[in-house]
Amino acid sequence: MRNHLPKIITLLISFGVSGWLFAGDHEEGREGGGLPTVDNNAWRAECGSCHTAFHPGLLPERSWRKLMGGLDRHFGENAALDDATRKAITDFLAANAADRVAARRAHKVAASIPSAETPLRITETAWFERKHDELGAGVWKRKSIGTAANCGACHPGADQGNFDEHAVRVPR
């Protein structure tokens, strides 16, 4: 095993570099700067029971902290949590936020938000708008989609934070 280690490391490095080289602006797959796979049981259970468990890398830490501080009026709904669960989810979101993780997609999200702004909706970020600017307003209203918050309608890997453009299928 020890003898193979340098080879394995070389292999891993070359894969990493080639992934980076081949991932252009229109292809941000997992190996090409896409959001890292993260998971947290409380996040998936609590956030994911009402909507897509939005990947923490889609908003900066300050947005998550503000959002988690107002769960009793969460976009017009009461989503209050007990203190322990709220803290656990807040810590997870903060640690993996757009301005905290080293992934190109996360950097782009964070960079698209002016430092004086603290958006609470992912759909309000310039990054999101740029990525969806080819879609007419009517697309979101299709019965099969319903709302821009319904990521999974077009992005089959949304629940895993995978927004690879090649996998996108916009339903009729």
Footprint of other proteins (CB under 8 A)? 48-52, 76-80, 145-147, 149-150, 153
d(CA 34, CA 98): 11
Beta carbon of residue 32, minimum distance to other proteins (angstroms, whole number): 28
To other proteins, the closest distance from the beta carbon of 141 in angstroms equals 12
CB of 71 to other proteins, least distance (A): 9
Closer residue to other proteins in complex, CB, 3/49: 49
Q: Which is nearer to other proteins, 107 or 150 (CB)?
A: 150
Structure tokens at 112: 């698209």
Residue 66's identity, in one-letter code, is: K
Name the residue among 4, 38, 37, 34 with its Cα closest to residue 19: 34
The answer to whether residues 59 and 125 touch, using CB atoms and an 8 Å cutoff, is yes
CB of 80 to other proteins, least distance (A): 6
- Measured CA to CA, the distance from residue 38 to residue 161 in angstroms comes to 8
Contact 60, 38 (CB under 8 A): no
Compute the least distance from the CB of residue 77 to other proteins, in Å: 6
- Cβ atoms of residues 153 and 171 within 8 Å: yes
- When the beta carbons of 51 and 62 are compared against other proteins, the nearer one is 51
Half-sphere exposure of 24 (CA within 13 A, CB side): 2
Identity of the residue, 19 or 156, whose beta carbon is nearer to other proteins in the bound complex: 156
Which C-beta is closer to other proteins: that of 41 or that of 147?
147
